[in-house]
Amino acid sequence: MVYVWFGTFLLHNLSRVLPIYPALVAAAAVGALLAGMRRDQARDVAILVVAAWAMTAYVIVVDVSVEGALPSFANVVRLLTPAVALTILLLTDIDEAALRRLSSVFVLVVAFAALSMVYQVINGPIDWFAEASERAGVQRYASLLGSLTVLGTAAPIGLLAASMYVRRPVAFIVIALLIFVAGLMSLQKSAIAGFIVLVPFMLPLIERGTRIRLGLTLAGLAALTVALVPAELLEYAGVGWDYFLSAGTGGGSDVGISQSVMDRLTALPLEVVQYHGLDRMLFGVGLRGGSGVFGFPDLPMAHNGIVDYLAIGGVPYLVYGLLLLGMMFLGAYRVVRWRAHIEDGSRVALFVSGLAVLYAVNVPFASGLGFHPAFSWIPPLVISFAYSIRARC
């Protein structure tokens, strides 16, 4: 049941066209929870689950005290998303088989999302997706995963999972190229930076013969692209390069990567603190602290997941968020340490470490990562898998 829930959870965007879809996700979640509750749980697992729900309730109390009214249903659902994902995955015995199946589901969903991106670049926007926008004269599109920014962050994670679990060379090359090209078409710095971070984790996971085939395929496609692809599609490459490295110097309208990093670490979080007031950061300001994450696009956004915790729920919520990140890294360390007890242990340890690193490097540079279905599953999956190995050891 957990795999049914996970698939429907990732495809939450279908609720835009299927009004009954949220009920299907909720039913699958209840089924997965009931299945997990049949197992005996370690005490520290139970403590983390209780902490997740306690912090969720705390944020709602803060929001009501600040706003004087209950948050909207949509915002409550978004706030519950990480707590539900954490509970289901921690209650589920995530062994090697479960890790493989869940990761394979994610690969399939990201591949379909990538296909939806490529389709829109060629044929124009899909009307029920989130609204498209423009960057330096080139259209940016949302995808099956959700808003404009999601695919750029999800693509490197999907490519890592494909490197681990798509073993047929031809299937891997097709999926890898599709995800890579769509990630570039998202025109997100997070996609390009994520692909760079991905390399040391991805390459050892790919068999040598597949690496050679992939390299030859990339070279051949690059030549065909330059020769045959219309000039307007090649603009994506130029805009992406300018946007990532030298924006503003080659006709782009955005800042370069180094300036963007500094803005997300300093200027943008400072703007949020100044807007809400430093004194209110102690206990947080509720869901408005997350700005566009919770449907308040007119408020300043930190573009920094750590500051989001502080702005939304103050110091208590920040401590919880940092604890979750710390336990994710502890889980990854345990998997590496106990790899001798794991089937295909060296590759699994490299994959789990890559998951943790890709998630963590995005947290300081993106708002809402922990609240989105495409990413909120990563920390609890790593933690749960480590608990499974610990119980076996």
- Residue partners of 189: CB distance under 8 A and separation at least 6: 152, 243, 244, 257, 260
Only one residue has tokens 């947290």, namely 363
- The pLDDT score that the predictor gives to residue 136 is 59
Least confident of 1-5, 52-56, 70-74, 251-255: 251-255
**Over the chain, what is the mean pLDDT?**
85
Neighbours of 250 (CB within 10 A): 13
Segment 102-130 shows an average pLDDT of 91
In 45-76, which positions are buried (b, 16+ CB within 10 angstroms) versus exposed (e)?
A: beebbebbeebbebbbebbeebeeeebeeebb
Give the pLDDT score at 40.
Answer: 64
pLDDT of residue 261: 75
- Residue keyed to tokens 């049941």: 1
Residue 135: its H or E element: strand 133-135
What is the torsional sign of CA 131, 19, 52, 59?
Answer: positive
DSSP state of 134: E
Residues 40-61 pLDDT 10s: 666 778 888 999 999 999 999 9
Calculate mean pLDDT across residues 277-288.
90
Report the pLDDT averaged over residues 139-149. 85
Span 344-355, average pLDDT:
93
At 250 the pLDDT is 43
% of the chain surpassing 70 pLDDT: 85
Q: Mean pLDDT over residues 340-365, rounded?
A: 92
pLDDT at 174 over 50: yes
- Angle at which helices 96-123 and 2-10 cross, to 10°: 20
- CA dist 362 and 366 (Å) reads 6
Confidence band for 184, pLDDT divided at 50, 70 and 90:
confident
Predicted local distance difference test score (pLDDT) of residue 140:
81
pLDDT at 123 (0 to 100): 87
* Percentage of the residues of the chain whose pLDDT score is greater than 90: 43
**Structural domain boundaries of the chain?**
2-392
What confidence score (pLDDT) does residue 377 get? 96
pLDDT at 137 over 70: no
pLDDT at 293 over 60: yes
Mean pLDDT calculated for residue range 94-123? 93
Give the chain's length.
393
Rounded mean pLDDT, 254-278? 80
Question: pLDDT band for position 82 (50/70/90)?
Answer: very high
Position 233 pLDDT exceeds 80: no
State the pLDDT confidence band at 100, using cuts at 50, 70 and 90.
very high
Sign, Cα dihedral of 189, 149, 26, 54: positive
Q: What pLDDT sits at residue 87?
A: 94
Task: Quick: pLDDT tens for 334-345.
Answer: 999 999 888 888
Q: Would you say residue 281 has pLDDT above 60? A: yes
Range with lowest mean pLDDT among 123-127, 155-159, 230-234: 230-234
* pLDDT of the residue at 251: 45
Are the C-beta atoms of 311 and 268 separated by less than 8 Å?
Answer: no
Least confident of 250-259, 344-353, 374-383: 250-259
**Would the pLDDT of 252 be above 50?**
no
- Give the CB-side neighbour count of residue 259, counting CA atoms within 13 A: 10
Q: Examine the pLDDT at 127 and tell me if it is beyond 80.
A: yes
